[in-house]
A and B are shown apart, each in its own frame.
Chain A
Amino acid sequence: MSLLNVFNISGTAMSAQSVRLNVTASNMANADAISSSIDKTYKARQPVFQTILNDFNFGDSGTVGGVRVAGIVESQVPASKEYQPGNPLADEEGYIYRPNVNIIEEMANMIAASRNYQTNVEMVNASKKMLTETLGIGRG
């Protein structure tokens, strides 16, 4: 029954989007995690999505498949340096380093991820309805 493949496809998308939500949550949680050296400062992370083409093969006409997280990349934007000599975490010169997390970007990311997740849930529900209807064929 190939309608069940829709469950798999949407399932992969749901797990990919939940990884993205997790990463966004991690970024937001660490947005104010200051540190005393530039190497130890938290860097914003972003997942990179990739299509899975091997799993659901339908002959040589082309393939359909889900999505997966190919990797998580760290943002290369330099951490911002701030002069706060009174801060207990300040280095010898009195500077602290703030993570390169852009809260507005992260909020937009969070909304996009949750909307996408919802769409895929609806997709599963629609296929479930189609399958239930099919199971009822011939019941009279």
Chain B
Amino acid sequence: MNLNNVFGIYANAMNLRTHRAEVLATNIANAETPNYLARDFDFGSALEGAMEDRSGMITTQANHIQGGDEGLMGQDLMYRLPEQPSIDGNTVDLQTERAEFTKNAMQYQASVRFLNGKVSGLLSAIRGE
């Protein structure tokens, strides 16, 4: 049994959630920076990419280049479509960003709970309870 398979999607999901938290925190930090464009990424497709890329690149020769872990953090940051662009060129909508951040934090906590469930399942299997 491979531990990676047990934790499955949650490890990748949590990594991506923390990365998204950073991106959203950057947006909020720059809420009043002139010409700053709010950014975000599509969580669903990023997670799909991360799951596919887990095996990495297969090398059959010593001088083959090792594939990087592009799948996880290599996803493209996209620019948010502004709803109320301001005259200084800033496209951060503080309300949207805060809502997204809170949503992201809740989903992160959900992943943590699921992972906790897996761990306690394993623990009770080990103890034979």
Contact = CB atoms under 8 A, between A and B. Distances in A.
Given A61-B77, A123-B101, A134-B112, A66 B22 contact: no
A12 interface: yes
Interface residues of B, number: 38
Contacts of B115: 137
Interface stretch (A30-38, A43-51, A74-82, A98-106): A43-51
A95 to B, nearest CB: 35
Interface in A126-140: 126-127, 129-130, 133-134, 136-140
A9 B116 contact: no
Given A6-B21, A48-B34, A133-B112, A123 B73 contact: no
B25 interface: yes
A3 interface: yes
Contacts of A2: 15, 18-19, 22
B33 A50 contact: yes
Interface of B: 14-15, 18-19, 21-23, 25-26, 28-34, 36, 39, 68, 70, 73-77, 94, 98, 101-102, 105, 108-109, 112, 115-116, 119-120, 123
Interface of A: 1-3, 5-6, 9-10, 12-13, 16, 48-51, 56, 58-62, 64-67, 112, 116, 119-120, 122-123, 126-127, 129-130, 133-134, 136-140
